[in-house]
Each structure stands twice: as C-alpha cells, then as structure tokens.
Amino acid sequence: MTHTYPHIIVAKFGGTSVADFDAMSRSATLVLADKNVRLVVLSASAGVTNLLVELASGLESPVRLDKIATLRVLQYNIISRLKQPDAIGQEIDRLLDNISRLAEDAVDSPSAALCDELVSHGEMMSSLLFVEVLREREEVETQWFDARKVIRTDDTFGCALPAIDAIAEQAEKRLRPRIAQALIVTQGFIGSDAAGHTTTLGRGGSDYTASLLAEALNASRVDIWTDVAGIYTTDPRIVAQAKRIDTLSFSEAREMATLGAKVLHPATLLPAIRKNIPVFVGASNNASAGGTLVLRDALEPSRYRALAMRRQQTLLTLSSLDAQPTHRFLAETFGILSRHETAIDLVTTSETSIALILNSTGSTSGEADTLTTALLTELSSHCHVEIETGLALVSLIGNGLAKEAAVCKEVFAELETHAVRMICHGASNQSLCFLLPAASADSAVKALHRSLLE
C-alpha cells in the first residue's frame, strides 16, 4: 500500500545501538514509535568494523581464523534470539564466507579497494539482522535496501567523496517510491564508485550517510542514535561535571566535530546545512533522557560552549633553508603538500617557518599514513623538517572568540603550568585551539572546564 509522508525522518543507529539482540530490540522500539521514521541507516555492530579492518591488513592463519570465528559468534548471538533464524542464518553464512575469502586474498595482496569491500560486510550483516528484528514485531512492512545503489562516490577507497547530484537522482528514483510503501533499512558508511566497486566514506561515516540521504529526500529531521544522550560540554569520561547542551547551532556543532568531539562525524552537518535539516543526537539505550538538537541558529549562543580534544596529533615544523622570500617559501611548501595529497589541519606561520598539524582521521584502514617517504624526501630537499608526536589538540568552541576581549587571558591563565606547543586563534571566530603534550591534555581540559564552563 502506498502512502505519502510529507515529514520523513531518517534515523541512524551507531554500533552500540545494534551491538546485540537486546540493543537492536531497543532501537526497533524507537523506530516504530514514530511513523515518520521511514528510513533507517545502520552502522556495523560494535567491534565488527575493527575486526574487519584487522582482517583486511592480511592476517596469517590461525589469527585470521580466530577473528572470523569471533565475527561468527557476534552474529549468531543475535540470530539465536530470533523466532525464525534459519533463512537469515544462511544469508549471514554467505557473507561470512565472503569475509573469509577476502581476508585470505588480503594475505597476498592487501589494498584499499579490498579493505573497503571487506569492511562493508559489517553494515551488510547488521542491516539484514535488524530487518528480521523489525519484521518479528509485525507492526509495519519492512524492506532491506543496498545503500550502494544510491550512495555514489569517487574511487578514493578508504575515504571516498560522495557525488551529491548522483545521490539525489538515485534517491529520487530508487528510494522515494520504496519509502512510500515500506519502512526501509539500509547501511551507513558504504557506497559505490562509477565502476560499481564498493567504497567507504571513512570511519564514522554512517552519520554522513544518514545526512546525505536526508538531503536527497528533503527529510524533515535526522536522528543520530548513539550511546550518549546528546552532545556535552566536553567528554564526560574526562570531566564528570560535563553537561549536555540542549541546542547547538550548525556552525558550533561542526566546529566541535571537526576538532575532536566524536559524537558526530565532521562531514555530517554539511548536507544538513545545505537543506536546513535539524539533527537530533540521543542515546538509544535511554531515549527518555532527551538529547541535543542541532539547528541553523542556537537559541542561546554564549561565549564559551564546549571543549574538544583530539589525541595522537603530529606536529610538522618546516623551516626555510635559505633567505628566499616568504611568499615563495610558503607557495613551494604548500605545493609539495598538495602534490602528495597531504591532509593538513591547523597551520601557523612565521617569516621563515611553517608549523602544521597533520589530519590523520577518517580513513577506513585506520590512521592515515600521511608522512610517506616520498613526501619527506621532497620536503627535506626544500626545507628543514622536524616531526613531533605524542601531542594532543585541545580546542575551546564558542562564539565571537576572535573579537571578544579577555578570551586569551581567561584561557591561558589556566595553562600557565602547561607547555603549549602551538596556538591557532583568529582564523575562526568560533574556536581557539592549542597543542599540548598528550600527558597533560586531560588536566588542561579539566582546568578549563572548571573555569569557563561550570
């Protein structure tokens, strides 16, 4: 039966929300509680993606067989709780056989393309199982859908770029008619290139998938269900006094995500911003606790909103070898970085040197190997190269930070016992960022939170 749904909600569930049968059941209850939820986007069950990434690195037997056995147990712990396990068990077995074959291929010839193909099986399995959990409720017609038919990307395996126009065209053609007939369950994180090869959007990319599909369908809201009840003033595991922020602006939330707050994938908000689609973040295991609503404009923007942290940062300091003009040194340095497609993040410069943080987040295959031998060789012929690791980036997010008086005094008064390696301030009006030795980052966040946010 065909219906019209003027207010489509896209609901995304993270790995902990589909970790086992009980978690899937809680998530199913959330989906069925709102008839406007017409499209469900799933991550792989918690722990599955990490296992698949390890298998894609080319593990020898018996370690490889051990990992596959662990995957099988995770899936069958869910299957065993279903009323009719046989048919879905055969489908999951087929996918596990695929995983086994690809993991064996990876021993001899690992590649980014093979990794994407292998890792995609996590979302395929969780989405198939979730459809069965929903069907057992017998409350609504439910259909499984392969996201690769709609999420079209380039062929940058491990961190593919979505083709926005192609996604919109395919969503209108393939998804909208189905949504009118049934509740659709699909996969986050995965897509396909022009040749039909499986790609991935980078770690944490299921949020991004949900937002891209919401944009393509002109949805009224995206619900991101995770294991925390919203976005907090900082990581509650670091500061017990951290408080949930009930409303955030798109720009505040995007700054937080980019600078290390892990509740949202950094790219998630881009499609939402383009179509002005509110994004809700809540906890699937405690839906009544509420959450955070991200909107175009926050209701009460304040000077200081949150603190974010990114660990395992690499600082690259590049110093000129001769007295060449600053503009030429900068141009040639960034030309080298561009040729090697080096993902850089924050940058500070002087007349004779550049300090920059490498952006090592995002790739499916783990930490992106940005400091290649070829890059370092070319840089070393042009400038003196100094590499420093064991650092953490701490960022204060707020409003008007580059124009308000006393911001630097209030922040750095709390850091007088810390060795600050780098400061970025002024380029963004919504953040003040600084690099610290990793060992002292937690204490800095605690001190700043106590002083500025409590």
Q: Given pLDDT bands bounded at 50, 70 and 90, which one contains residue 7?
A: confident
Per-residue pLDDT tens for 309-319? 999 999 999 99
**Is 446 annotated as belonging to a binding site?**
no
pLDDT (0 to 100) of residue 284: 95
Q: Given pLDDT bands bounded at 50, 70 and 90, which one contains residue 298?
A: confident
Residue 370 clears pLDDT 80, i.e. is over it:
no
**Is 243 annotated as belonging to a binding site?**
no
**Is 386 annotated as belonging to a binding site?**
no
Per-residue pLDDT tens for 238-268? 999 999 999 999 999 999 988 988 788 888 8
Q: Given pLDDT bands bounded at 50, 70 and 90, which one contains residue 237?
A: very high
CB 214, CB 225: distance < 8 Å:
no
**Is 262 annotated as belonging to a binding site?**
yes
Q: Given pLDDT bands bounded at 50, 70 and 90, which one contains residue 326?
A: confident
Distance CA(15)–CA(200), nearest Å, equals 16
Tell me the mean pLDDT in the region 335-358.
89
Number of alpha carbons in the 13 Å side-chain half-sphere of residue 256: 26
**Is 123 annotated as belonging to a binding site?**
yes
The b/e string for 125-163 (b: 16+ C-beta within 10 A; e otherwise) is: bbbbbbbbbbbeeeeeebebbebbebbbbeebbbbbebb
CB 259, CB 431: distance < 8 Å:
yes
Per-residue pLDDT tens for 79-111? 999 999 999 999 999 999 999 999 999 999 999
What is the overall mean pLDDT for the chain?
92
Distance CA(362)–CA(203), nearest Å, equals 5
pLDDT (0 to 100) of residue 367: 46
Longest dimension (CA), the chain: 76
Distance CA(382)–CA(375), nearest Å, equals 11
Distance CA(342)–CA(441), nearest Å, equals 26
Distance CA(320)–CA(325), nearest Å, equals 10
Tokens, residue 62: 């018996």
pLDDT (0 to 100) of residue 334: 93
Q: What is the pTM of this model?
A: 0.90
Tell me the mean pLDDT in the region 355-384.
77
pLDDT (0 to 100) of residue 4: 57
Q: Given pLDDT bands bounded at 50, 70 and 90, which one contains residue 2?
A: low
**Is 263 annotated as belonging to a binding site?**
yes
Distance CA(149)–CA(371), nearest Å, equals 35
The one-letter amino acid code at 46 reads A
Provide the 10 A C-beta neighbour count for residue 454.
Answer: 10
Per-residue pLDDT tens for 158-210? 999 999 999 999 999 999 999 999 999 999 999 999 999 999 998 889 999 99
Percentages helix, strand, coil for the chain, rounded to the nearest 5?
40, 25, 35
**Is 226 annotated as belonging to a binding site?**
yes
**Is 352 annotated as belonging to a binding site?**
no
**Is 12 annotated as belonging to a binding site?**
yes
What domains can you pick out in the chain, each with its CATH number?
9-226 (3.40.1160.10), 305-453 (3.30.2130.10)
pLDDT (0 to 100) of residue 1: 53
Query: Which position has the token pair 């995965």?
Result: 190
**Is 49 annotated as belonging to a binding site?**
yes
Q: Is 284 left (phi over 0), alpha (psi -120 to 50) or beta?
A: alpha
